[in-house]
Amino acid sequence: MPPKPSQPEPRTYRAHRDRQRARILTAAANRIDQQGIDRTTMAELIAASQLRTSTIYQYFANKDDIVWALLGKAMEDAALHSKKFVDDATTGLGKIAGLLDFMADELATNPARVRFMAQFDAMYARDWPVERLLILEGQFHDQGFQVFRTLIREGIADGSLRADLDPDLTLHAVMNAVIGAQRRLASLGAKVELEYGQSIDRLFRETIRILLFGLRATEETNNTEPSPGAKAGIGKTKKRSS
Amino acid sequence: MPPKPSQPEPRTYRAHRDRQRARILTAAANRIDQQGIDRTTMAELIAASQLRTSTIYQYFANKDDIVWALLGKAMEDAALHSKKFVDDATTGLGKIAGLLDFMADELATNPARVRFMAQFDAMYARDWPVERLLILEGQFHDQGFQVFRTLIREGIADGSLRADLDPDLTLHAVMNAVIGAQRRLASLGAKVELEYGQSIDRLFRETIRILLFGLRATEETNNTEPSPGAKAGIGKTKKRSS
Amino acid sequence: MPPKPSQPEPRTYRAHRDRQRARILTAAANRIDQQGIDRTTMAELIAASQLRTSTIYQYFANKDDIVWALLGKAMEDAALHSKKFVDDATTGLGKIAGLLDFMADELATNPARVRFMAQFDAMYARDWPVERLLILEGQFHDQGFQVFRTLIREGIADGSLRADLDPDLTLHAVMNAVIGAQRRLASLGAKVELEYGQSIDRLFRETIRILLFGLRATEETNNTEPSPGAKAGIGKTKKRSS
Amino acid sequence: MPPKPSQPEPRTYRAHRDRQRARILTAAANRIDQQGIDRTTMAELIAASQLRTSTIYQYFANKDDIVWALLGKAMEDAALHSKKFVDDATTGLGKIAGLLDFMADELATNPARVRFMAQFDAMYARDWPVERLLILEGQFHDQGFQVFRTLIREGIADGSLRADLDPDLTLHAVMNAVIGAQRRLASLGAKVELEYGQSIDRLFRETIRILLFGLRATEETNNTEPSPGAKAGIGKTKKRSS
DNA sequence: AATGAATGAGCATTCATTCAT
DNA sequence: TATGAATGAATGCTCATTCAT
């Protein structure tokens, strides 16, 4: 007689596994935030999780697997969290503002998560397979990005945004700057406040404000001029030097 | 074989040591750019430098020492290089533009150096003593930063920049965004171009353009309105969520 | 649950256990043939058997136990199989030929089993208790060995075999050579055919043929000469060197 | 000034390294002979060599590397040792006898080495790259093998060996049997003597004697008959059974 | 009988660094 | 200054097995 499949208390077993996994990930997130991914050893992580070495390996195949799980969780959480900010807004511009506002909020309330993403970008993004990344990023980015792009088009159409903007270019230029700024602030942490004498939150929100200002239409931009720098002699960028 | 005339023998010894140091640093920079600081082992670095293990330790006390030297060199080079861009400009705004232009140039011509700085920000800046960092940063930042700050004040005074700007806050908000954007682009490398379909250089220059636009005065900003987002419902940032 | 009529229910239980055991042993035999005894982990064996770790241990006390069972099964099968070859023959010499023929057949049709025995001889035979081995070997060897020994005696008596043979010595010298040759061919597998350019089967049958030739009487051997090498200068073996 | 190459006491350094390597190999050979390759852990081997873990790895890249070195040394020694036996003989048949005699000598004086080769054949030969093996085997085999082959041809020509022999087939059939027999005896060790009641040396020399007898010409073989078994009903090998 | 969970002991190997000459 | 040799302290991971249900 073969064993009956018959889920024996599926909820209990599942729940236990999930709890153990969460325990490990929490411990890992803590250690990694304090020491960096590479400097966190499995031994430390294991000690922090209060489980035994071999037990850990029943839940994750190896250290990388843990880091990926952490990355996935971070992105999932961000997607979930950002959704609220975006959905609350009714207008398109409001949705963009919501997305950026979410990022400021994330920086303020969960700097460890942002720092983790910063580490990831700086040290691993180049090495790990794009496909894997895209799967994770897809969840989060597609949400706001589509809206963003559409909105820029609308903004240009109705004259509220500068006519010279290339929607796709603008989207990525702004998002990269916002993400880059956010992660750098999270990475430097207290050092920023000491060195710059400004609160991280205020600094980041000012960055967002300036960027949004930079997208707005002015009389000039809707007429002839291609760039704000032109008048002031900015932007006549030397085309490469070395 | 060393020169004879002006500075004869002492130079031989010094010159040799300098050459050896340079050799080690070059090897280290290469390996680190390809594998990251932590993942580069002394053994690899030694193999790449074509010297013997114990010889390396005649020049650097330990691995950290090498990384610090690399950081110092990167900043020194940047300071030297940026000086030209800034000094070439005659007006204040031109100097800012020169500084930002230098950063675009650096990203395009020496992404490895930018990547190294990105790694540093993301993983080590928090751990290493502020004083040490400040000494290094001082060289570079003070150059452009003072100018920048002064210029913003002048710009506000002459009405070319928005009156609501706080010079210090603006300075750091913009510089952090620019540096963050630059480093993120360097870190992601070819991935950006694949994913975003935009050239890194174009993306970064557009970021600069938008930021500079964001600083400029418009009728509105010189009147009552405090923020561009206000009108569009932006910036009424929820004050924390979680 | 106890039996009711003749053998109704108990068989169900027994049969299940036997099926499970067989399943495990088959999986183990496969893995071991491909990776060797030591390199086969319980985890692999368990995966191959499609059972759960703890279930395996309901059937076998430990890994050694599985290997012993495999060895027992191999010998049992061999005994059963060889019996046919031996029993089919009517003459004594025919029985020996049958035994050797069986070994060629085994090598050709079940090299995995031979390989397993080779591993066993090479790596474990020395460690494991003689008694245990003797019990297993007894089944198989006694069959042909008794016959072999008797036959050699008869052969000498009737003049068909060389008179200088010591039955017991000859028996073991021949059997050891045949078994050694067979197992080596099985172990090297395809490598033999590549390196030697000969089919394994042909090579082994030629070995048997030469050995049997070596036992046969010739005029000389039945007269004075003790050894075929004597004439040719063979066999004046140096008595130890190092 | 670059370092002078100028061999600084090359003899001393070299000699030291060789001594250390030998020390490790000796320790490894001992442990492996007693426990088998897989069951010998690096920790044991290291303890036996009286060096520290990391020192070992300055001499060998990994465990496999040590095993290969052992194999190489075993073959090299065998080649060197066998050369004497072969070269001492003046006639071709004498050379063959010398080769076989060497194998008996090796079994008697250095059973550990033979056992090691037995392990290798039984467990690793199939896995490791042929090329690597061929390089090592080349040294040893080519010596006697070429002679052997030539000799068989000559023997057939002058009527001292059976005319029905295929030189290549015979060569490999005999050598495989001799090597197989030798290795099995070495592997089983004292067990053989207990079980068979015969000394290993005597058993092996008898095997050689029978094989050589099997090659010799008799009247019959030089006439019509193809096989010694034919007359006695041997060799009518069933063509496969299962 | 079946199985999910857990684990102690160990594994091969690496790493940055030091020492003696 | 250069370097061959050595090494303590990890490091990430595996394995056969057991326990509780």
Domain shared by C91 and C188, yes or no: yes
CA atoms within 13 A on the CB side of D150: 10
Domain shared by D52 and D122, yes or no: no
Q: Encode pLDDT of C94-106 as tens digits.
A: 888 888 999 999 9
Confidence (pLDDT) at D80: 86
Q: Which residues from chain A sit within 8 angstroms of residue B118, using beta carbons?
A: 121-122
Nearest by Cα to D159 from C88, A241, C231, A113: C231
In whole angstroms, give the CA distance from residue B175 to residue B169: 10
**D66 lies within 8 A of chain C by CB:** no
Which residue among A125, A187, A218 places its CB closest to the CB of B125?
A187
B216: phi then psi, degrees, rounded to nearest 5: -70, 150
Domain shared by C50 and C154, yes or no: no
C241 pLDDT above the threshold of 60? no
Kindly state whether residue C229 falls inside one of the protein's structural domains.
Answer: no
What CATH number is associated with residue B35? 1.10.10.60
Domain shared by B199 and B83, yes or no: yes
A204 pLDDT above the threshold of 70? yes
Tokens of B125: 């800046």
Q: Encode pLDDT of C188-212 as tens digits.
A: 988 888 877 889 999 999 999 999 9
Considering only residues 52-71 of protein chain C, which place a Cβ less than 7 A from any atom of strand E? 52-55, 57-58
Quick one: how many helices (H) and strands (E) in chain A?
A: 12, 0
C1'-nearest nucleotide to the CA of D57: E13
Which one of C237, C238, C240 would you mutate to disrupt binding with D, by most D Cβ within 10 Å of its Cβ? C237
CB contact under 8 Å between A214 and B218, yes or no, is no
Domain shared by C68 and C186, yes or no: yes
In whole angstroms, give the CA distance from residue A104 to residue B168: 20
Domain shared by B87 and B201, yes or no: yes
Domain shared by A95 and A66, yes or no: yes
**What is the three-state SS of A157-178?**
HCCCECCCCCHHHHHHHHHHHH
Kindly state whether residue D16 falls inside one of the protein's structural domains.
Answer: yes
Confidence (pLDDT) at D219: 58
Residue of chain A nearest B90, judged by CA positions: A233
Q: In angstroms, what separates the C-alpha of B107 from chain A's closest C-alpha?
A: 10
What CATH number is associated with residue B75? 1.10.357.10
Q: Are D27 and D59 in contact (CB under 8 A)?
A: no
In whole angstroms, give the CA distance from residue A185 to residue A188: 5
Kindly state whether residue B229 falls inside one of the protein's structural domains.
Answer: no
**A110 lies within 8 A of chain B by CB:** yes
Q: Encode pLDDT of B217-233 as tens digits.
A: 775 555 444 444 444 43
Q: Give me the residues of chain D with pLDDT under 50, please.
A: 1-8, 223-242
Domain count of the fold of chain A: 2
Q: Encode pLDDT of D216-242 as tens digits.
A: 877 555 544 444 444 444 434 444 443
Interval C128-151 mean pLDDT: 70
In whole angstroms, give the CA distance from residue A162 to residue A154: 11
Domain shared by C56 and C131, yes or no: no
Q: Encode pLDDT of C217-230 as tens digits.
A: 775 555 444 444 43
Residue of chain C nearest D183, judged by CA positions: C180
Q: Encode pLDDT of B156-210 as tens digits.
A: 888 888 888 898 899 899 999 999 999 999 999 888 888 778 899 999 999 999 9
Whole-number percent of chain B with pLDDT over 70: 80
Which of the four pLDDT bands, split at 50, 70 and 90, describes residue B137? low
Q: Domain range holding D181?
A: 63-225
Number of Cβ within a 10 Å radius of residue A198: 19
Whole-number percent of chain C with pLDDT over 70: 80
Domain shared by B98 and B161, yes or no: yes
Domain shared by C112 and C41, yes or no: no
Residue where a domain terminates, one of B20, B39, B60 = B60
pTM of the model: 0.86
Domain shared by C102 and C172, yes or no: yes
Confidence (pLDDT) at D174: 94
In whole angstroms, give the CA distance from residue B176 to residue B148: 13
Chains near D with 3+ CB pairs less than 8 A apart are: C
What CATH number is associated with residue D19? 1.10.10
Interval B36-65 mean pLDDT: 96
Which one of B82, B172, B192, B204 would you mutate to disrupt binding with A, by most A Cβ within 10 Å of its Cβ? B172
Domain shared by B26 and B45, yes or no: yes
Kindly state whether residue D29 falls inside one of the protein's structural domains.
Answer: yes
Considering only residues 51-70 of protein chain B, which place a Cβ less than 7 A from any atom of strand F? 51-55, 57-58
D217: phi then psi, degrees, rounded to nearest 5: -75, 145
